[in-house]
Amino acid sequence: MPGNKIKRSTAGECLVFFVYRCEYDQRVRNAIIRFSGRIKSYGGEKLGIATDVMVLCAPDDSPWKNRNDWCVALLGFPNQKSARLWFISEPEIKQHDFPPPSDGFLIFSVRIRYPPVTGRLTFCWTELSSIRSKGELQRDYVDPMATLMDRHNIDHGLVFINDKDCDQLDRLRDCWLPYHAYYRLDVYDSEDEICRFYQSDDAKNLVQVRNNLCATTQVAFTIDPKIC
């Protein structure tokens, strides 16, 4: 894991995700470097980039599963309003050679519920869609999974969005994330920690329950704060 650490105050109250194909990585890095000064005027800052995304599970038609060359860049802002104001005014994103939406490039922001533990740079993003019963999902999976993650000292639910809080996910650009879904972002010390957790018997049992109640997309990535 990279030696640099994210300060507890860095992420503010909002994270902005750039998801793009690896062939555009240098182009996105160059753009982030060029606009890093402008995002500061909106209270934002660059957090880092992951060039290797591990797909833990996904439906067969998911773009995450159809390709294996995704990158994720993260920016932090004080709130989603500031992130959107920066986005609509940023000339770099309007450039013709910026990755086009037709190549799967998407940008979205999410509101975070609390500051992550300092130094944890590995994230696990989960989407729960095609939910058969929201009540059962909450009772039989979401609540017991939160309890289990508490026992394992996992920073879970840094982001947690259900369909009642859909405004907490701001689709800034051609976002292919599903509608009417639950979203969760958890933070770990490493990808190995994620694998160990989900290979435990308790987690496996809950995953089986979850799979009977909804479709799941789950990806993990570790960001490197060094962008240039």
pTM of the model: 0.90
Decide if domain 14-222 falls under CATH 3.40.640.10. no
pLDDT at 4: 38
pLDDT at 203: 97
CA 178 to chain centre: 14
pLDDT at 12: 65
CA dihedral 167, 168, 171, 175 (to 10 degrees): -110
Domain regions of the chain by residue span: 14-222
**In which residue ranges of the chain is pLDDT below 70?**
1-12, 101-102, 118
pLDDT at 5: 40
With CA atoms as reference, report the closest residue to 163 among 146, 139, 181, 140.
181
Query: What DSSP line would sit under 59-116, residue for residue?
Result: -TT-HHHH-S-EEEEEEEESSHHHHHHHHHH-TGGGSTTSPPGGGT-EEEEEE-SSPP
d(CA 69, CA 71): 7
Task: Note the pLDDT tens digit of each residue in 33-49.
Answer: 999 999 999 999 999 99
Residues in the chain: 228
Q: Give the three-state DSSP class for 130.
A: coil
d(CA 93, CA 184): 27
d(CA 52, CA 184): 20
Task: Note the pLDDT tens digit of each residue in 83-116.
Answer: 999 999 999 988 877 877 667 889 999 999 987 7
With CA atoms as reference, report the closest residue to 112 among 171, 63, 159.
159
pLDDT at 71: 96
Let me know: does 32 contact 46? Beta carbons within 8 Å: yes
pLDDT at 99: 79
